[in-house]
């Protein structure tokens, strides 16, 4: 066996250490009744862990044969199978890329699902892949409420917070388009190195910010801490020191090698989050096995003894010991389960390699603006409601107005017509925005539909994405065009790609308003007089609207919201400041 083939060594370790009764000891010894679980539950979790491991092993073999592509695995992270058991499938899950065990275990909540085949089709980039149709190796499922995630780390955190915040807001506003179950919470998992990313910090901060103002953010941030970000060490206490006392976010630590500890701490987190509707940071310590991804040679940057120590702490070895010690299964049956799972996975993967691929570029592109939801825009509001809303301003509607006022009137009408629209951004509420475009909207529609955001563009756009995945049509505002760039990835990498990666099964329609273009001599040329629309031309699938007069602006804004509502589209609406 070559020292470099760690997959083979790990596979062999499981069999020999098990046969020779050399399984590693568990750090904290608790039994089934202490974690309030049963033998069938433990066996199910263990089986999901084993199936996921064999998927990693098989994917590597197929990669060598050129039949499988990017192979980032879940080995070492098998503890996340427990989350697939504890959290009902109605809790939307925005997942880390090492979540195959979670996916397998969650699938068991719905009869007739075929998680291994579905993921195999994605691994081999077959057009039969039910989630992305062979466009990317992603983990996702409409049925299981798992939106697929891109390979950008941390970029899914802001939308997870938005989605969590939207759940109780939808209940308060009685939004009939709501997609998430009212009592549900949101799960959002990621790696330990990812917490350093500005996008992640933006999301934690927003969750804290809302909680500190009494808002509800029922989210469990799950940090799967394997101690490394590719080759860079995270530091033993970095995560705990950073998260054990964040305002408004409760910290719970759990041992990713010990499924009983995971079960009891997940239950604790679940209960607290579901009842209190406030964020939890669930810190799962674990190991990473077989390097970062298929092409990574870990021994290039780690000592052999460190790699071996991690391999001896393989979560499967720990789980096998728990299963045997608690008399869930005898040793022989554990071994049998391991080998039968291998056969099952190998068979399914071999079949998946025979399935078709996307061949032509137009096939690949066909899902860029796909949308599985069909909705008909609600009727225009009745005159009596419009009169009531506009009050004494109603008589001024027929008089000529500048663009800011006309957009303000249009937004009022739109909010009256579409009950699921929301406006948020920096200073949009009481102040009415820098150019008064949103003036009085909070008075007309209340603080639940028109509210200020923290000063953070990443969060504003990400927030919007989360709300729109839950049936809202958000109309967020970025204060100036130049400051869109701070948060560009949320539009380019996340919002614009969701229908593409999910064949329109998930959409995030929204209308992003941004004042921009040249208007004022001598004032922050690069930042307040920005004509840079090219950034949007680079993003497939979005609609860019730039009106040149107030009357067009009104019609275009109405069309934008209708496109978002009926066709799931994403519209960037640029308001020329000089005309506001
Ligand atoms: C924004 C961004 N920068 C860089 C990368 C490249 N990259 C992919 S995974 C990764 C390390 C992530 O480490 P961690 O969050 O600890 O997760 P792990 O892979 O260890 O599970 C990096 C740097 C990326 N995908 N996204």
Q: Do the strands 228-229 and 232-233 form a parallel or antiparallel pair, or are they unpaired? A: antiparallel
Residue 553 structure tokens: 């602006």
- Longest Cα–Cα distance of the chain, Å, equals 88
- Ligand 1 atom with least separation from CA of 72: 19
Residue 226 in contact with ligand 1 by CB distance below 6 A: yes
Residues 571, 513: Cα–Cα separation, whole Å: 8
Chain segment 354-377, per-residue pLDDT in tens: 999 999 999 999 999 999 998 999
Number of Cβ within 10 Å of residue 500's Cβ equals 23
> Which residue owns the Cα nearest ligand 1 atom 12?
229
Residues 395, 425: Cα–Cα separation, whole Å: 29
Chain segment 405-452, per-residue pLDDT in tens: 999 999 999 999 999 999 999 999 999 999 999 999 999 999 999 999
Chain segment 377-408, per-residue pLDDT in tens: 999 988 999 999 999 889 888 899 999 999 99
The residue behind tokens 């593409």 is 500
What's the gap in Å between 292 CA and the centre of ligand 1? 9
The whole-number pLDDT of residue 24 equals: 95
Catalytic residue among 96, 136, 292, 528: 528
Q: Mean pLDDT over all residues of the chain?
A: 95
Q: What percent of the chain has pLDDT over 70?
A: 99
Side-chain-side CA neighbours of residue 223 (13 Å): 29
What's the gap in Å between 228 CA and the centre of ligand 1? 9
Chain segment 246-287, per-residue pLDDT in tens: 999 999 999 999 999 999 999 999 999 999 999 999 999 999
Residue 73 in contact with ligand 1 by CB distance below 6 A: no
Side-chain-side CA neighbours of residue 240 (13 Å): 10
Residue 405 in contact with ligand 1 by CB distance below 6 A: no
| Residue 528: active-site member | yes
Helix (H) or strand (E) holding 42: helix 39-64
DSSP-assigned states of every residue in 413-469: HHHHH-TTEEEEETT-SSS--TTSTTTTHHHHH-TTTEEE--S-HHHHHHHHHHHHH
- Burial label for 399, CB within 10 Å (0-12, 13-18, 19+), is exposed
**Position 27 confidence tier, pLDDT thresholds 50, 70, 90:** low
Chain segment 327-363, per-residue pLDDT in tens: 999 999 999 999 999 999 999 999 999 999 999 999 9
Residues 119, 84: Cα–Cα separation, whole Å: 16
Q: Do the strands 570-576 and 228-229 form a parallel or antiparallel pair, or are they unpaired? A: unpaired
Residue 520 structure tokens: 């004022």
Adjacency order of strands within the sheet including 219-225: 92-94, 186-191, 219-225, 280-285, 250-255
Residues 83, 187: Cα–Cα separation, whole Å: 9
- Burial label for 424, CB within 10 Å (0-12, 13-18, 19+), is buried
Whether the Cβ atoms of residue 210 and residue 160 lie closer than 8 Å to each other = no
Residue 283 phi/psi, 5° resolution? -100, 110
> Which residue owns the Cα nearest ligand 1 atom 14?
191
**Position 525 confidence tier, pLDDT thresholds 50, 70, 90:** low
Ranges 293-307, 308-322, 347-361, 462-476: which has the least confidence: 293-307
Query: What length does the chain have?
Result: 580
């Amino acid at each position: 066996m070559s020292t470099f083939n760690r997959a083979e060594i790990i596979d062999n370790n499981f069999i020999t250490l098990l046969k020779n009764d050399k399984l590693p000891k568990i750090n904290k010894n608790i039994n089934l009744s202490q974690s309030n679980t049963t033998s069938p539950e433990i066996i199910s979790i263990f089986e999901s862990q084993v199936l996921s491991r064999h998927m990693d092993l098989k994917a590597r073999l197929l990669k060598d044969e050129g039949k499988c592509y990017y192979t980032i695995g879940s080995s070492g992270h098998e503890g996340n199978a427990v989350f697939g058991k504890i959290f009902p499938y109605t809790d939307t899950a925005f997942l880390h890329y090492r979540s195959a065990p979670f996916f397998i275990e969650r699938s068991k909540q719905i009869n007739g699902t075929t998680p291994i085949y579905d993921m195999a089709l994605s691994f081999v980039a077959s057009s039969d892949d039910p989630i992305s149709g062979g466009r990317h190796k992603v983990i996702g499922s409409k049925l299981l409420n798992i939106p697929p995630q891109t390979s950008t780390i941390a970029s899914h955190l802001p939308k997870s917070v938005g989605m969590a915040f939207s759940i109780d807001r939808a209940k308060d506003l009685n939004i009939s388009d709501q997609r998430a179950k009212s009592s549900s919470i949101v799960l959002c998992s990621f790696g330990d190195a990812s917490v350093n990313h500005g996008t992640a910090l933006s999301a934690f901060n927003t969750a804290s910010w809302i909680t500190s103002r009494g808002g509800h953010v029922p989210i469990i941030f799950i940090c799967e801490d394997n101690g490394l970000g590719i080759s860079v060490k995270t530091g033993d206490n970095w995560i705990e020191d950073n998260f054990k006392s964040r305002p408004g976010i409760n910290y719970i630590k759990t041992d990713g090698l010990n499924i009983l500890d995971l079960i009891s701490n997940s239950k604790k987190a679940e209960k607290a989050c579901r009842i209190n509707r406030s964020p939890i940071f669930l810190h799962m310590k674990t190991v990473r096995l077989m390097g970062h991804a298929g092409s990574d040679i870990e021994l290039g940057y780690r000592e052999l003894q460190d790699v071996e120590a991690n391999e001896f702490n393989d979560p499967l070895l720990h789980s096998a010991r728990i299963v045997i010690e608690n008399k869930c299964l005898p040793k022989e049956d554990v071994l049998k389960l391991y080998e039968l799972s291998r056969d099952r996975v190998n068979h399914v993967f071999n079949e998946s390699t025979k399935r078709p691929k996307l061949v032509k570029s137009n096939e690949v592109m066909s899902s860029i603006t796909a949308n599985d939801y069909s909705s008909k825009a609600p009727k225009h509001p009745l005159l009596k409601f419009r009169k009531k809303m506009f009050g004494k301003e109603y008589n001024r509607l027929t008089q000529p107005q500048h663009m800011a006022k006309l957009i303000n009137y249009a937004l009022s009408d739109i909010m009256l017509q579409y009950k699921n629209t929301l406006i948020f951004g920096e200073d949009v509420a009481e102040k009415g925005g820098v150019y008064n475009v949103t003036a009085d909207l909070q008075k007309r529609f209340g603080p639940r539909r028109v509210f200020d955001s923290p000063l953070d563009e990443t969060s504003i756009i990400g927030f919007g994405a989360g709300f729109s995945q839950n049936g809202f049509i958000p109309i967020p505002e970025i204060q100036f065009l130049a400051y869109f760039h701070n948060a560009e990835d949320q539009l380019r990498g996340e919002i614009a790609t969701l229908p593409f990666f999910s064949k329109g099964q998930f959409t995030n329609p929204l209308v992003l308003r941004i004042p921009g273009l040249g208007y004022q001599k001598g004032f922050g040329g690069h930042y307040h007089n920005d004509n840079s629309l090219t950034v949007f031309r680079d993003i497939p699938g979005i609609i860019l609207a730039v009106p040149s007069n107030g009357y067009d602006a009104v019609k275009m804004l109405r069309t934008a919201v209708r496109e978002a509502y009926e066709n799931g589209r994403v519209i960037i609406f640029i308001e020329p400041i000089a005309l506001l």
